[in-house]
Structure 1
């Protein structure tokens, strides 16, 4: 009588499969190199099977792939400093709760005077257990601080993923050459480079980075990579990005306008494609409505 087959161990450990906070689990047998998880493990550890896998896996730098673990660096996937959500150690309990509620995150970095003086992070679960469910007592944010990793932008994401697994720390701050904070990376950001976008109940309804509103018109997140947007729309946006260090739609618009345009402004490229700034603040563009000119409109 055949026995029930044993499932391979999760490559990130039991904490990634069932305990988001990194609870320790029992050791299990390593996965077979023929399975998906086996290839994942080999990519992290530099296993002997990796060169053969490189030949059959997608080579696009934007497509999810195990090979991204050894090809992409932290700077390629990090959330820029300007888009980070963080809080001062002086924040009040009510304001911290509102910050969690507004953004839907489970972890928020805490700093001393500014983002370049980080102290650690606060986990929503710790906040709820100590000050939720009718609990009372003085609010001391330092007693809830958890450790974060500090990593250089040049580190390969596979190395960082290993460190997060080993140390059970799921958030890292990217540090520049002067010791200042340059961005933020979570373990979810790294895993998405392998398996694709992970959507959950807290992701906003706007969801996709690029939404087709009607023929010839898209609503686009300004941080969307230019090559992905061009692939999705089928249009070359501008040659200006060839001369400038521009990777995103927002960066392209700033180059075209030679400044940060504000909400409601329209910037047009050489092909006549219009970029209307839908949402922005004084430092950056957030959302853009992209319209094709009549001569480029698809035939109905």
Structure 2
């Protein structure tokens, strides 16, 4: 998470200077292009000429076009990282502690607060920290985190994720704090979280991969992470769970369960597949499911848990 590319020029952390599309020093922020431009062209039509829009649409894979439905269907609170899981730091943090925080979690950007997370000040980029202070050298006599902060976006939980993605593109701010009705922080969203709703899971060197995404608990019974690729779960278990057409639309086991129920399943819910396989949600919150127990028909009458 949070490994998206970011602008090279620092932006003022003073909220009063954050005009739409304008950097803190008054310069216009350049507009990013490429994948995001094609996403917005397919999502909203844009103002491009008809021939250009047609060419862009042809460049987008069918499964990605289907994923774009999420841009209008899902809200920010459907994809946000819950407050309890946010990795953040105080503006009073020392350099050595900040370096250790980046090293431990592998993020490229971390939100910074004053006093508590409900008073966010901005975000610090690993790149900015490295360019200013370097690594592997003696701690400077004076270290000031506040001048290096870049701005965050602040959004309500009800905002459609397509609207937020467009704001991130226009303002070149790739992290947003979700603010509740009382003005407190309720969650966090990055541009990668939003793009994954269109193109599927983005794996990088820090993500866990391989067979640790699932484990066989007993004959005919598996414990599987909801983000595990569906085709790999089918290959590992020998159980066909989706048609060829459905696999073009679904990337993960969690996506399959969302399709079966039409919503985010709740903790403890048992979902029966047409093949007879039962899925029990064993770890979930209000926004996503994390862990699922798969039980094949032959194991269901053996008292397996």
How far apart are the structure 2 equivalents of 1:101 and 1:123? 13
- Of the candidates 131, 153, 156, which is equivalent to residue 152 of structure 1? 156
Tell whether the 8 Å contact from 2:165 to 2:194 is kept in structure 1 after alignment. Answer: yes
- 1:189 and 2:204 correspond: no
How far apart are the structure 2 equivalents of 1:207 and 1:186? 27
Tell whether the 8 Å contact from 2:95 to 2:139 is kept in structure 1 after alignment. Answer: no
Which residue is 2:180 aligned to? 176
Tell whether the 8 Å contact from 1:64 to 1:195 is kept in structure 2 after alignment. Answer: no
- 1:126 and 2:128 correspond: yes
- By relative contact order (CA 8 Å, sep 6+), the higher-ranking structure is 2
How far apart are the structure 2 equivalents of 1:218 and 1:175? 34
What is the aligned-residue RMSD (CA, Å)? 4.6
TM-superposition CA deviations, 1:67-123 (whole Å, max 9, x none) = 222222211111111111111122222221111111111011111111111111111
User: Which SS does the other structure have where 1:252 is aligned?
Assistant: coil
How far did residue 45 of structure 1 move?
Answer: 4.9
How far apart are the structure 2 equivalents of 1:272 and 1:41? 40
- How many residues align? The count is 235
How far apart are the structure 2 equivalents of 1:124 and 1:39? 28
How far apart are the structure 1 equivalents of 2:201 and 2:77? 18
Which of 134-143 and 179-188 deviates more? 134-143
How far did residue 211 of structure 1 move?
Answer: 2.3
- Of the candidates 187, 198, 205, which is equivalent to residue 201 of structure 1? 205
After TM superposition, the structure 1 = structure 2 runs for residues 101-140 of structure 1, keeping only pairs within 5 Å, are 101-133=103-135, 134=137, 136-137=139-140, 138-140=142-144
Structure 2 CA distance for partners of 1:136 and 1:115, relative to 1, 3 Å: closer
How far did residue 275 of structure 1 move?
Answer: 7.7
How far did residue 212 of structure 1 move?
Answer: 4.7
How far apart are the structure 1 equivalents of 2:211 and 2:114? 33
How far apart are the structure 1 equivalents of 2:182 and 2:199? 34
TM-superposition CA deviations, 1:183-207 (whole Å, max 9, x none) = 1111111111111111111223469
How far apart are the structure 1 equivalents of 2:80 and 2:171? 20
Which residue is 2:223 aligned to? 218
After TM superposition, the structure 1 = structure 2 runs for residues 10-159 of structure 1, keeping only pairs within 5 Å, are 20-22=5-7, 38=38, 40-45=40-45, 65-133=67-135, 134=137, 136-137=139-140, 138-159=142-163
User: Which SS does the other structure have where 1:117 is aligned?
Assistant: strand
Which residue is 1:13 aligned to? none
User: Which SS does the other structure have where 2:124 is aligned?
Assistant: strand
Structure 2 CA distance for partners of 1:204 and 1:157, relative to 1, 3 Å: same
So what's the TM-score if we normalise by structure 2?
0.60
How far did residue 146 of structure 1 move?
Answer: 0.9
How far apart are the structure 2 equivalents of 1:162 and 1:106? 21
Which of 70-79 and 175-184 deviates more? 70-79
- 1:296 and 2:281 correspond: no
Structure 2 CA distance for partners of 1:112 and 1:37, relative to 1, 3 Å: closer
So what's the TM-score if we normalise by structure 1?
0.61
Gaps of 5+ in 2: 10-28, 228-249, 271-276
How far apart are the structure 1 equivalents of 2:159 and 2:115? 27
Structure 2 CA distance for partners of 1:191 and 1:291, relative to 1, 3 Å: closer
How far did residue 289 of structure 1 move?
Answer: 7.3
How far did residue 247 of structure 1 move?
Answer: 3.4
Structure 2 CA distance for partners of 1:207 and 1:87, relative to 1, 3 Å: farther
Tell whether the 8 Å contact from 1:70 to 1:158 is kept in structure 2 after alignment. Answer: yes
